[in-house]
Structure formats: C-alpha cells, structure tokens
Structure 1
Amino acid sequence: MLAVQHPLDVADPRNVPENAPEHCPGTESELAGKSAACEGCANQEICASNIPKGPDPALPLIRERMSTVKRKILVLSGKGGVGKSTFTAQLGWAFAADDDIQTGIMDVDICGPSIPTILGIASEQVHSSAAGWSPVYVQDNLGVMSVGFMLPSAKDAVMWRGPKKNGIISQFLKDVDWGTLDYLVIDTPPGTSDEHLSIVQYLKESGIDGAIVVTTPQEVALQDVRREIDFCRKVGIRVLGVVENMAGFVCPGCKTESQIFRPTTGGAKKLAKDMGMEMLGSVPLDPRIGKSADYGVSFLDEYPDSPATTAYLDIIHRIKEILGDA
C-alpha cells in the first residue's frame, strides 16, 4: 500500500525543468533525482547531485510585485460547474464599480480559462513592455490576466503537465505589471491540485487574505467542497465564507422562485455550520446570469432588479466587512 503524504509534500511547486515528468518533486526537494517519478528523466543525474539547493529565485520577484497589492482573494470550489468563475467576474465588477478601487482578476484555471469570455475580452491579447506583461483591461480600473489570451484560438486544448502550469502561474505573479491594486481576485480550477498548490507556495510570503468557497446545494457538490475546505485548513488559508450558487430558480417574468438543485442534506447552510464557516449568502439561479456571461457583460449592471443581483451585492458587502474594507 502506498503511503499517504501531505499535499504539499506531493507536489511542492518548485523550480522544475521544462521536460520534467508529471510528478517531479522539484529541483530543490530532498527527493530530487531519487523519487520514482525521476526514473528515466534526462535531468535525474543533475538533480540527484550534491549541488546546493536554495529557495526558488522567483519568490523575491513575486514578493516585490505583490507588495503593491493590498488584498489577495482566492475563489475556490472543489467542484466544477458551480458558477465559480461567474462569481469571480461579478466580484471583480462589483469592486471596480467604485472608480477609486483598482481591481485585478487572475485566472489560474489553466485548462479551462473562461474568465476572458465572461468579461467580454476573449479576443484580446497580452502585450509586453519594459515593466512586464500588461493585463488586459475590461475598464480603466479592472485588469485581467488569463492563459486564454495566449491561445491561438478559443477551441485549442491546453495540454500541460504540472511543471508548465506552475511556470505560467509564477509568470502571472512576477512578470505581470499589475501596478497598485486594492484587490486581486484569483479564479482557480476545481480540485486541490497543481494550480492551488502553486498559488499557496508562491504567495506564502506575500500573504493570502482569504478564500471564498463556492458550491451548489446538492450533496454531490458539497462532498467536493468539504475537501476544498480541508485543503484550506491544511495549507493555512483563511476561509472567508461559503457562497451557495443556483439556490433555487427565479422566473424572470413572474419572479417566482423554485428549487432546481434540492438541498437533500441541508445545502451550504448546514455545510457552513458543520465546518465552522460563515455562510455568506445564497444566489438564486437566474437564466440571465448565463446570458450575461455568454455576452461578456456585467449581470449586476444589466439586471439590477434581479433577486440574484441583490444576493450578489449582499455577499460582496459582507466580504468587504470581513476584510475590514466596508
């Protein structure tokens, strides 16, 4: 039977060669060149040598870049399809509604970069300058970085192993000219794998202000979300609270609400209570949310009278309160 290791021991995102195997322990690890994953790797001899191993040279650069970012917030789920990226976009738009607040959104869902489409900037490209890569701007105070801007076309699959994913996340943090930001909202993929471990490792010194965990009411989603909360506890990330998406359906015509995903085990409210988390709020399913995402417009601006808009704004206000920014 294989020994179960702590997540950070399994895939600590260190410096890794471009051609490293999938489960490369990293050149700085004590297991470098000695683990089972190293068998057959072209770099095995070099990694196994007694060359002194130091800290990742990217960390000081990341620390310097992030020194001008006041708040760093992760949006997590554990489960795919719960509306995490949509919530990230609404959060970014809500922060940027105040012209005096500078906001950035970093999309680290490397294999499923949907943020550019949701924000209506899918056709844009990243430009570089002497200061680094420039974010793509939705408006003057809302900048975005995503691997989606770097693909030849929207239908191209991203087929990258862990080391390359870690590399691009490192570049997003150290090479992007974010400037001075009040909020950097980081949209993550489902699960607790490479991208999540990379963000935690790279921002360890800069600090993460907290995570927002998104779920839907049914038990099949809640199971994965419990694992995500456990991940946060193991790596020392503060969970700001839980958001329940698709909590009932709102008819745009009659405003009547009905349940689509029935909370058979108590939904997010019970999960938050059981896990000792704050329930930030529930957002009903309004079909116009999907329409807004497809057209790349702000649902909050387009449909201010929707119960979903009220729910979003209440949740966002509570997040600001928790962070001491309200």
Structure 2
Amino acid sequence: MSRGLPRQKPIPGVNHVVLVASGKGGVGKSTTAVNLALGIVANDATKAVGLLDADVFGPSIPKMMNLRGNPELSDKNLMRPLVNYGIACMSIGFLVEETAPVVWRGLMVMSAMEKLLRQVDWGMLDYLVIDMPPGTGDVQLSVSQNIPVSGAVIVSTPQDVALIDARRGVEMFRKVHVPVLGLVQNMSVFQCPKCNHETHIFGAGGAAKLAQTIGVDLLGDIPLHLTIRETSDQGRPVVVSQPDSNEAKAYRNVAAEVVRRL
C-alpha cells in the first residue's frame, strides 16, 4: 500500500502519481485537478504530464479539457490518451455516450479502473494526476493499493461540512500509507467585480485551521471567481486561457508547491 509493496505494480513510464481527492462532491476537485496538471506544465514546459479521470460515475475531464471521441489502440492493444493543451488525458467519458448514465456495480467499476490504469499507453510521464471520485470508497482503496502513489492532494471549501469530510479523506489516505501532500482551500473568498469588496461566502480560513490541526500543509487558496467556472465549462481552463490572471497564478502556485514536495 506504500511505495514498493508486493501488490503494487507501477504504471509503465510514469514517474509520479498524484491523487486529487475530496471528502465530498461539489468542492471543485476536478477543476483543481485539471488546473494542477496544466499548472505543472505552465511552470516547467519540459515536464510531461498526464491526467486520468477516475470518477467513473461523473467524468468531468472530457468537458473541461475540450476532448471527445474514442481512444485509438496501439500496436500492443493499449488505449492511446487523447491530448489537449499538452496534457495526455484518459477518462471513462471517452468510452461511453456523453449523456449515458454509468449504472455499474462495484466489481464493474473496479474492472473499469483496472483498464484505465493498466491498459493505457501513457508513454513517458513525469507526473500522472488522477482526478479521484469524491468520498472514501472502493476506487480510492483500489488505486491506493494497486499502484505506487507519490502523494495525495485534498480539496475542500472552507465550509465546516466540507472540512469534516476532508478530514476523513486525509485519515483514509494515512491508513493506506499514501502521503498527503496538503490541502487546497477552494472557493476561499469572493471579490465583487464592481466594488472589489471581499466576502467569505463559505467561511474564512477553515482549511488552514484544519491543516494546522491535523498536521498537513496548506498548499494554497483558490478564490471563488466566475472566470474559473466559465473557462472550465468552455473547455478552456483558466491556466491556459487566462494565464496572467490571479486565478491562474493561484493554481500555478499550488502546482509549484506539489512539485516541490515530490
């Protein structure tokens, strides 16, 4: 369950695996995963980065990365990732109809995850960022136990309800011996575009307090901003579409902190 356990088999060609997780849905985990991957490349263009969408029931990567279509197969019958903005991407969303619900039992989900992990030709990657499903269920345990994971990033809003679940996520990764690189406090503050007044809609500094309490680092604050939502929905993530914005800089700072810890 930690690096080097007998059950674990590294993904060929992948140096570091980084899990982006959250204790509950709706806190901006997928948006963080996408902009984290793009932020690593924005900070250092020599780095090769992949992005795996492990949220089988609610895949968001195809939409956010403006990708669609079925993966081609290599000579070794491995799926080739779809690529945009310099990021190699794989998602169950490439394999099912966009509007079709994924109605699978646990064993089918685990089988799909095994294929996404083992039957993809990633090439040579410095970092593979995995967008995990929310919660602390089968997928989290399966991934943590079957591949060497360099570290996990936990995403939460400052809201007390979200922080309770974020703490559960931290404790789960600790139990399966996955290093927790730190917390990202998302939707930390809203700044009025007309008067610049700042409002802490979900509370102030909750993730920072939690990080201190449980002994992990706060990797950064991401503001609640319309630009982040709009660019994500358009398939043009803020790090690539508005690289000079404060929002893009916040994601690049988080990316730099993650890389530094690895």
Query: TM-score scaled by structure 2?
Result: 0.92
Report the alpha carbon displacement of residue 305 of structure 1 after superposing the two structures with TM. 4.2
The reply on whether 1:144 has 2:85 as its aligned counterpart is no
1:15-26 residue pairs with structure 2 within 5 A?
Answer: none
Show CA shifts across 1:245-279 (max 9, x none). Answer: 0001123455442211124xx50011001100011
* Conserved? CA contact 1:251–1:286, under 8 Å: no
The reply on whether 1:107 has 2:64 as its aligned counterpart is no
State which of 274, 285, 295 in structure 1 corresponds to 2:234. 295
* Conserved? CA contact 2:40–2:256, under 8 Å: no
Which residue of 2 is the match for residue 170 of structure 1?
A: 114
Secondary structure of 1:282's match? strand
State which of 143, 157, 163 in structure 2 corresponds to 1:199. 143
Report the alpha carbon displacement of residue 169 of structure 1 after superposing the two structures with TM. 1.0
Which residue of 2 is the match for residue 183 of structure 1?
A: 127
CA distance, structure 1, for counterparts of residue 95 and residue 80 of structure 2: 13
Which residue of 1 is the match for residue 188 of structure 2?
A: 247
Change (3 A) 1:96 1:190: same
CA distance, structure 1, for counterparts of residue 176 and residue 96 of structure 2: 32
Alignment RMSD: 1.8
CA distance, structure 1, for counterparts of residue 193 and residue 47 of structure 2: 32
The reply on whether 1:119 has 2:58 as its aligned counterpart is no
The reply on whether 1:157 has 2:98 as its aligned counterpart is no
Deviates most, 249-258 or 101-110: 249-258
Secondary structure of 1:271's match? helix
CA distance, structure 1, for counterparts of residue 138 and residue 13 of structure 2: 26
Secondary structure of 1:81's match? coil
Unpaired segments ≥5 residues, structure 1: 1-7, 9-54
Residue 253 of structure 2 aligns with an amino acid whose one-letter code is D
Change (3 A) 1:304 1:179: closer
* Conserved? CA contact 1:89–1:118, under 8 Å: yes
Deviates most, 104-113 or 129-138: 129-138
Which residue of 1 is the match for residue 179 of structure 2?
A: 238
Which residue of 2 is the match for residue 133 of structure 1?
A: 79
Which residue of 1 is the match for residue 31 of structure 2?
A: 86
Report the alpha carbon displacement of residue 306 of structure 1 after superposing the two structures with TM. 3.3
Residue 103 of structure 2 aligns with an amino acid whose one-letter code is M
Structure exhibiting the larger radius of gyration computed from Cα positions = 1
* Conserved? CA contact 1:105–1:185, under 8 Å: yes
Residue 271 of structure 1 aligns with an amino acid whose one-letter code is L
Change (3 A) 1:243 1:85: same
Give % identity: 40
* Conserved? CA contact 2:40–2:252, under 8 Å: no
CA distance, structure 2, for counterparts of residue 309 and residue 233 of structure 1: 30
Show CA shifts across 1:176-199 (max 9, x none). Answer: 000100110000011111111110
CA distance, structure 2, for counterparts of residue 287 and residue 99 of structure 1: 27
CA distance, structure 2, for counterparts of residue 304 and residue 76 of structure 1: 24
Residue 114 of structure 1 aligns with an amino acid whose one-letter code is S
CA distance, structure 1, for counterparts of residue 84 and residue 70 of structure 2: 12
CA distance, structure 1, for counterparts of residue 237 and residue 197 of structure 2: 23
Q: Number of matched residues?
A: 256
Unpaired segments ≥5 residues, structure 2: none
Which residue of 1 is the match for residue 225 of structure 2?
A: 286
Deviates most, 89-98 or 273-282: 89-98
Of structures 1 and 2, the one scoring higher in RCO (CA 8 A, sep 6+) is 2
Residue 117 of structure 1 aligns with an amino acid whose one-letter code is K
Secondary structure of 1:170's match? helix
1:55-74 residue pairs with structure 2 within 5 A?
Answer: 62-63=9-10, 66-74=11-19
Report the alpha carbon displacement of residue 298 of structure 1 after superposing the two structures with TM. 2.3
Report the alpha carbon displacement of residue 77 of structure 1 after superposing the two structures with TM. 0.6
Which residue of 2 is the match for residue 47 of structure 1?
A: none
CA distance, structure 2, for counterparts of residue 181 and residue 157 of structure 1: 31
Report the alpha carbon displacement of residue 302 of structure 1 after superposing the two structures with TM. 2.6
Residue 165 of structure 1 aligns with an amino acid whose one-letter code is V
CA distance, structure 1, for counterparts of residue 15 and residue 112 of structure 2: 22
